[in-house]
Structure 1
Amino acid sequence: MRSAASAPGKVILFGEHAVVYGKPAVAVAINRRTTVTLEDSGEMRIDIPSLGISFTGESGTPAGGILDYIMRALELYHDGSPLRVRVDMEVPAGSGLGSSAALTVALIGALDAYHGREAGPDDTASRAHRVELDVQGAASPLDTAVSTYGGLIYLAPDRTVRRLSADLRDSLVISSTHRSGNTAEMVASVRERYERLPEVMSMIMDATEMITRTACRFILENNLEPLGELMNINHGLLDAMGVSTPELSMMVHEARAAGAAGAKITGAGGGGSIVAFCPGTAGSVAEALGRKWNTLRAEFSSEGVLHL
């Protein structure tokens, strides 16, 4: 028996970290996917070539990093029989591009096909979110929703998902630091700051919500021009939350200097990536950032989880 599924990575345009506290967020699926292939096996085996991971049942129980998501999903949604799990990642781990969500959604899709289960996207996203919650301790449903549905997503405070329409072609540039971020650690650090300074952090989260709602309104009006300025303000608030680093800030400012309308951290921060909104200037911005950092021109993906 063999089954396979893939799911896209994502870029958060507005609202990361605030979304953990019930605020809205806007994110977009990108054409970098993670594919999970399952096959019958005489022993448990996990292979992730891009990370140099090759685990067999004789090695004990795998743990740490992205392996925690695989093991938790298998505990919840598999019957315990030995499998070979192969993960092919175009979404770099720790990059802030939703690698764990893409992996989890693709694995659940492959497991559903393997067991002959039929599941709608709402159910898939919900189960993937449970895995992220169990592993991270705190997680919004945003990443798993984007990897499940694809497209441009607005996650409302009541956790309903709304698909938006906007022409983002050839306008997004992503650049990654040489240091990976740890989502669980960064979520915890924001929570600790919130506990120390609840009134200040509450105002920061409220301001982030206002930016996200304003961005959504402009997108619905098909007016994308203000998005860059809103991204710049959102970055300042993420810095105030304590999730930026000198390298991330340098990348943001170099993107703006090269012609980006706006740039900000995307994802948990503490390392990882920035996203620059560059209508008409994506080439020059990518060239400037690419001199120092891993840089790609991300394309919008309308497709979410796919059974292969």
Structure 2
Amino acid sequence: MHVKECIVSAPGKSILHGEHAVVHGKVALAVSLNLRTYLYLKASSTGKVCINLPNIDTFLCWDLSELKQFIPDSCGKREEAKRPDAELVRRLREFVGVTNGNLDTRSMATLAFLYIYLSLFGSGDLPSLTVCVWSELPTGAGLGSSAAFSVCLAAGLLSASGAISTPLKEWDNTARWCQEDMELINSWAFQGEMIIHGNPSGVDNAVGTWGGILRFLSGKIIPLSRVPLLRILLTNTKVPRSTKVLVAGVKDKINKFPSIMNPVLDSVDAVSCTCEKILAEMTSQPITGEHYNVLEELIDINQHHLNVMGVGHPALDTLCRVTLARGLHSKLTGAGGGGCGITLLRPETDCSVVQSTIQDLKDCGFDCWETSIGGPGVQQHSALSVKEEILEILNHY
């Protein structure tokens, strides 16, 4: 292996504006969420390949002899992968016990890991290594946890295989790859997402790779060149929902009331574009209170639009009511129908207000974190730059 040990991380993602409307050809803004997934890769001499996923109590090892049977005929180490090798996926699904009725997080994460590992190392001797992945992101909450996992796998395994260079110099705490290497990371992360989800949009892995804020329109993803870092509260209502059912419901409503719903979609598109303009202003001139006033109004407008689309939920109404009582503005993020919401924090928002709001939301039975959006994408870290408690978890396994 070219790299004997490395630590990488990638952010989660949130939708700032444009959810559901994006399905109907409107602009959406996807943002990196500074709750990160960390991967620690270490070469070993055990003759085994191990993956440890402490968040989901998964600890698996295979002898190299078991995995050699799956080495694909062609390996795309230095080429951008386009689509997964269907035959290799089929054989690995049988190996890890994934059937159509068994699409649990553990099995799909294992499948993605083995696929990328075998595809990248299959042209030579399979190396013995241990990979540990730990995340600050809740799974299944629409926050891009699987994409952050796939981005970390791609970055770690591409580095170990020598397909991309190691950006971290001796004196660095963190470092990012060059554009060409990032594109390769993103392409392999998209492979992982296709294995896990079947037909993903590519937005989540793009956010995990490049970070910041991305403009998404009709399948085209454009990273915004400069973006402000915005403080938010992220709240998980813990109300389960089906994205597929919610998307179908919006489509039915548009078909039933086109003259009513199409202007709503146009208005959401205008919200996204106006927000993009304000964010650009915030990086090119001094940030003022008026910028935050507009961002708050856009949040309120979009939340009302999402309720009109039928993707609201009483738990999300409670989130908006509780935060507004503290002078803060919230909207759902993602599919809606429960799930998660974001609350914008102004720079002058007092710490006591933030803590009181978090406690109010926890009293409602929700999970709540203070974090930020717009931060960096995939990075390599020195051990010194990783929080002590995270490093302890990664080293423990």
Distance 1:75 1:35 in 2: 19
Write the letter of the residue equivalent to 2:296. Answer: G
Write the letter of the residue equivalent to 1:120. Answer: D
Distance 2:37 2:293 in 1: 32
Write the letter of the residue equivalent to 1:251. Answer: L
Deviations 1:131-188 (A, max 9, x none): 334433443332222211122333344613232534444x311122234x56xx31x1
Distance 1:85 1:288 in 2: 38
Task: Give the direction of change, closer, same or farther, for the CA distance of 1:22–1:115 in structure 2 (3 Å limit).
Answer: farther
Aligned length: 302
Task: Give the direction of change, closer, same or farther, for the CA distance of 1:194–1:249 in structure 2 (3 Å limit).
Answer: closer
Deviations 1:40-89 (A, max 9, x none): 56445332212322234599446512641452353256346565331111
1:248 aligns with 2:310: no
Identical columns (%): 29
- Per the alignment, residue 263 of structure 1 pairs with 330
- Per the alignment, residue 88 of structure 1 pairs with 134
Deviations 1:220-256 (A, max 9, x none): 2333421111112222233344433321221122112
- Per the alignment, residue 141 of structure 1 pairs with 202
- Per the alignment, residue 358 of structure 2 pairs with 289
1:45 aligns with 2:85: no
Q: Offset of 1:6 from its aligned partner? A: 1.1
Task: Give the direction of change, closer, same or farther, for the CA distance of 1:151–1:287 in structure 2 (3 Å limit).
Answer: same
Contact persistence 1:148–1:304 (CA under 8 A): yes
- Per the alignment, residue 128 of structure 1 pairs with 189
Distance 2:118 2:27 in 1: 32
- Per the alignment, residue 216 of structure 2 pairs with 155
1:26 aligns with 2:93: no
Contact persistence 2:228–2:279 (CA under 8 A): no
- Per the alignment, residue 189 of structure 1 pairs with 245
- Per the alignment, residue 216 of structure 1 pairs with 276
Contact persistence 1:177–1:271 (CA under 8 A): yes
Aligned residue for 1:55, secondary structure, equals strand
Distance 1:238 1:121 in 2: 34
Distance 1:230 1:24 in 2: 14
Given candidates 237, 248, 255, the residue that maps to 1:177 is 237
Contact persistence 1:259–1:278 (CA under 8 A): no
Once the two structures are overlaid, the 10-residue window that deviates more, 279-288 or 3-12, is 279-288
- Per the alignment, residue 104 of structure 2 pairs with 64
Contact persistence 2:228–2:374 (CA under 8 A): no
Task: Give the direction of change, closer, same or farther, for the CA distance of 1:128–1:281 in structure 2 (3 Å limit).
Answer: same
Write the letter of the residue equivalent to 1:68. Answer: M
- Per the alignment, residue 159 of structure 2 pairs with 113
Task: Give the direction of change, closer, same or farther, for the CA distance of 1:194–1:265 in structure 2 (3 Å limit).
Answer: closer
Q: Offset of 1:275 from its aligned partner? A: 0.5
TM-score (normalizing by structure 2): 0.66
Q: Offset of 1:22 from its aligned partner? A: 4.0
Distance 2:109 2:308 in 1: 30
Q: Offset of 1:285 from its aligned partner? A: 4.2
Contact persistence 2:233–2:371 (CA under 8 A): yes
Contact persistence 1:125–1:144 (CA under 8 A): yes
Structure 1: runs of 5+ lacking an equivalent: none
Distance 1:74 1:21 in 2: 35
1:304 aligns with 2:344: no
Contact persistence 1:166–1:219 (CA under 8 A): yes
Deviations 1:90-126 (A, max 9, x none): 1221233221121111111111112111252233324
Please report the RMSD computed on the Cα atoms of aligned residues, expressed in angstroms: 3.0
Aligned residue for 1:220, secondary structure, equals helix
Contact persistence 1:72–1:131 (CA under 8 A): yes
- Per the alignment, residue 165 of structure 1 pairs with 226
- Per the alignment, residue 10 of structure 1 pairs with 13
